[in-house]
C-alpha cells in the first residue's frame, strides 16, 4: 500500500486555490486536481498492512493542539531558474506549522522514507514537465507570490492511501485524528 499522512484542506481554501491555479493552466504544466489538494506531513511509500496498522495505532496516541494558518503566496521548487513544482504556501509566520510538521515527522521517522529535504509547508498545485515561455511563468509566480487565499484551522491529520491511475492519483482516507 502506498501511504502518507496529510492534512485535508477546507472547501473554501480549495476553491481559492483552484481560481489561482487557472492562471497556471499552461502547456507543459500538469495541474493538481483541486480534490487532491492536501498538506503532506509524512510520505511512507509502499508499506505492508501490518505497518499501516502500527501507524494507525500511533496516530491514536497523538496529542497535539489545533492552530490557524494564513494560506497564500505562490512559490516554486527547486528555484525560479529551474522550476519543477509550483505550490501555495503559508503567509506570515509559518514557524508554528513547521514545528508541527517536524514533530509529526519525528514521531513516524522509523516508518517509510526519510525526508531528506528541509520541511517547507506547501500545497503542490502543479508540476512542470516542460515550459516554452519560462519568462511568462516567472512573471505569474511573482504576480501571485503574496496573494492571500484565506485562513485555515489545522485541526486534524489523516492517513491516506494513494492509488496511482492513468488519470492521476486517487486518495482514500484510512484514518483521521482530530487535534485538541
- Please, what is the end-to-end C-alpha distance for the chain in angstroms? 29
Instruction: Give the tens place of pLDDT for each residue, 77-103.
Output: 999 999 999 999 999 878 999 999 999
Is 117 assigned a catalytic role? no
Q: Could you give the C-alpha distances from 74 to 23, 66, 86, in angstroms and in order? A: 11, 24, 7
pLDDT of 57 > 90? The answer is yes
Split into its structural domains, the chain has a count of: 1
pLDDT at 171 over 80: yes
Indicate the SS3 state at residue 39.
strand
Q: For residue range 127-144, list pLDDT tens digits in order.
A: 999 998 899 999 999 999
Which grid coordinates belong to 31? 495541474
In the predicted model, is pLDDT for residue 55 greater than 90? yes
Look up the pTM and report it: 0.89
Pairing of strands 168-178, 156-165: antiparallel
* 29 and 129 Cβ atoms separated by less than 8 Å: yes
Distance (Å, rounded) from C-alpha 174 to C-alpha 172?
Answer: 6
pLDDT score at 132: 86
Q: Strand 38-46 relative to strand 67-79: parallel, antiparallel, unpaired?
A: unpaired
The answer to whether 148 and 20 are in contact (CB under 8 A) is no
Mean pLDDT of the chain: 93
175: pLDDT strictly greater than 90: yes
Helix and strand element counts for the chain (H, E): 4, 9
Residue 32: is it exposed, middle or buried by C-beta count within 10 angstroms (0-12/13-18/19+)? buried
> Among the options 8, 21, 29, 38, which is catalytic?
38
Question: Is the pLDDT score of 115 beyond 80?
Answer: no
- Per-residue pLDDT for 116 more than 70? no
Which has the minimum average pLDDT: 20-29, 52-61, 113-122, 153-162?
A: 113-122
Closest to 158 (Cα-Cα) out of 55, 35, 32 = 55
| Catalytic hit among 76, 122, 126, 137 | 122
Bond preceding residue 78 cis, omega within 30 of 0: yes
Overall average pLDDT of the 11-30 stretch: 95
Domain extent at residue 129? 2-178
- Cβ 86 vs Cβ 74: under 8 Å: yes
Domain CATH for 43 = 3.90.1140.10
Q: Is 122 noted as a catalytic residue in this protein?
A: yes
% residues pLDDT > 70 (the chain): 98
Amino acid at each position: 500500500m502506498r501511504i502518507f499522512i496529510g492534512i485535508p484542506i477546507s472547501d473554501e481554501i480549495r476553491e481559492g486555490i483552484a481560481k489561482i491555479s487557472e492562471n497556471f493552466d499552461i502547456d507543459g504544466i500538469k495541474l493538481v486536481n483541486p480534490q487532491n489538494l492536501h498538506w503532506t506531513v509524512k510520505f511512507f511509500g509502499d508499506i505492508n498492512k501490518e505497518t499501516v496498522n502500527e501507524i494507525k495505532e500511533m496516530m491514536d496516541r497523538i496529542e497535539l493542539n489545533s492552530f490557524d494558518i494564513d494560506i497564500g503566496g505562490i512559490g516554486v521548487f527547486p528555484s525560479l531558474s529551474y522550476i519543477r513544482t509550483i505550490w501555495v504556501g503559508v503567509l506570515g509566520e509559518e514557524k508554528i506549522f513547521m514545528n508541527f510538521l517536524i514533530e509529526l515527522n519525528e514521531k513516524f521517522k522509523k516508518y517509510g522514507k526519510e525526508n531528506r529535504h528541509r520541511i517547507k509547508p506547501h500545497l503542490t498545485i502543479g508540476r512542470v514537465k516542460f515550459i516554452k515561455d519560462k519568462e511568462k511563468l516567472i512573471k505569474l509566480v511573482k504576480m501571485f507570490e503574496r496573494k492571500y487565499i484565506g485562513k485555515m484551522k489545522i485541526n486534524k491529520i489523516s492517513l491516506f492511501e494513494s492509488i496511482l491511475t492513468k488519470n492521476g492519483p486517487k486518495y482514500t482516507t484510512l484514518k483521521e485524528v482530530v487535534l485538541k
